[in-house]
């Protein structure tokens, strides 16, 4: 009998523990990670090193990291099927980031959209880490020889600069890094704010009711959807250019129910926005309820969480150090 000896492809992704995880985080990233873990070798990290480009309260950061690990598991990530780890617990990330920063051009960093955006929001703290973080992000990806990087459509620029850095290094020293590709899910890739459907739902959203958090209570979730921005018409139709609010709600409803946009349009053919918002809110509540309950259960078992992130760091460190040793040899460091 023939056997398939082809190696499984590798996926790396992570989210900064700089705030509470949102519905957008879940539908745009974590939900897809759980589904990918059965077909790929997956490394999912708490990107705490990236988080400190903005000032963080130390106690809050530690608590948020633990909460995020618990939420990852509650969202369906199986620690036995993937590596769940804290970025700062694998020193190879910082070590490779320095090497790669020497192969990253100043002009490339200057053109990064996120640097411009964050600089505008943090004028009092435009630090070097904020400018050079793409080198650290490239290290995150290249350490694991990742084939695919799950990102939102607005994050493709990060994978592109990573590819440029890897190709530049390979061009100088020979085949060292695998060139990664972005993986963008077709539905749910970019969930928008309920109050400003032209802006991505973000944990930094300051508009009241614009953001749904994974641990929100049912009443708060329903209230936010009832107040969601739509338009002056009544038809539930998917048309992002002219009906961004309704289209965003349809995107959310589709992601949590599995229904197509056509099925959603048919379901609410003779109903108004009030009925539609209520249905979306209730569907989200039922989707998040088990996640909230499981997260609370896990946070009451800190010893178990410690076992998970220590095992994850060990697994990630093994793979990362193999790449780092190769890089150090390539650039001429004494072994």
| Active site amino acids | 118, 200, 203
User: What DSSP string runs through 40-73?
Assistant: SEEEEEE-HHHHTTS---HHHHHHHHHHHHHHHH
Alpha helices per DSSP H over the chain: 23-25, 31-36, 48-51, 58-74, 92-101, 106-110, 113-121, 128-142, 156-173, 218-226, 244-257, 261-267, 273-299, 302-331
Q: If you ran DSSP here, which 8-state letter would residue 22 be given?
A: B
Instruction: With beta carbons less than 8 A apart as the criterion, state whether 53 and 21 touch.
Output: no
Name the helix (H) or strand (E) containing 11. Answer: strand 10-15
**Sheet of strand 148-150: strand arrangement:** 82-86, 41-46, 10-15, 148-150, 181-183
């Amino acid at each position: 009998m023939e056997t398939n000896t082809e190696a499984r492809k590798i996926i790396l992704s992570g989210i900064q523990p700089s705030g509470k995880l949102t519905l957008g985080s879940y539908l745009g990233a974590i939900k897809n990670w759980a589904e990918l873990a059965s077909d790929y070798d997956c490394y999912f990290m708490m990107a705490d090193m990236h988080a400190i480009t903005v000032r963080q309260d130390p106690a809050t950061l530690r608590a948020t990291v633990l909460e995020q690990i618990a939420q990852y598991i509650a969202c369906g990530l199986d620690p036995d099927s993937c590596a769940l780890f804290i970025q700062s617990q694998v020193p190879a990330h910082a070590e490779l980031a320095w090497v790669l920063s020497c192969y990253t051009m100043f002009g490339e960093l200057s053109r990064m959209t996120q640097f411009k955006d964050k600089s505008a929001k943090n004028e009092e703290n435009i630090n070097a880490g904020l400018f050079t973080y793409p080198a650290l992000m490239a290290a995150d990806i290249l350490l694991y020889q990742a084939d695919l990087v799950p990102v939102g459509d607005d994050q493709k620029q990060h994978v592109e600069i990573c590819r440029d850095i890897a190709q530049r290094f390979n061009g100088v020293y020979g085949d060292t890094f695998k060139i990664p590709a972005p993986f963008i899910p077709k539905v749910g890739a970019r969930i928008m704010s309920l109050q400003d459907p032209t802006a991505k739902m973000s944990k930094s959203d300051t508009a009241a009711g614009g953001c749904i958090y994974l641990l929100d209570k049912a009443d708060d979730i329903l209230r936010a959807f009832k107040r969601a921005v739509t338009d002056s018409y009544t038809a539930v139709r998917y048309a992002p250019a002219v009906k961004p609010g309704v289209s965003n709600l349809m995107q959310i409803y589709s992601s949590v129910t599995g229904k197509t946009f056509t099925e959603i349009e048919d379901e609410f053919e003779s109903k108004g926005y009030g009925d539609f918002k209520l249905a979306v809110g209730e569907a989200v509540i039922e989707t998040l309820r088990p996640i909230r309950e499981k997260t609370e259960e896990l946070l009451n078992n800190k010893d178990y969480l410690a076992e998970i992130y220590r095992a994850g760091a060990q697994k990630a460190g093994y793979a990362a150090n193999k790449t780092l040793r190769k890089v150090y040899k390539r650039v001429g460091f004494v072994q």
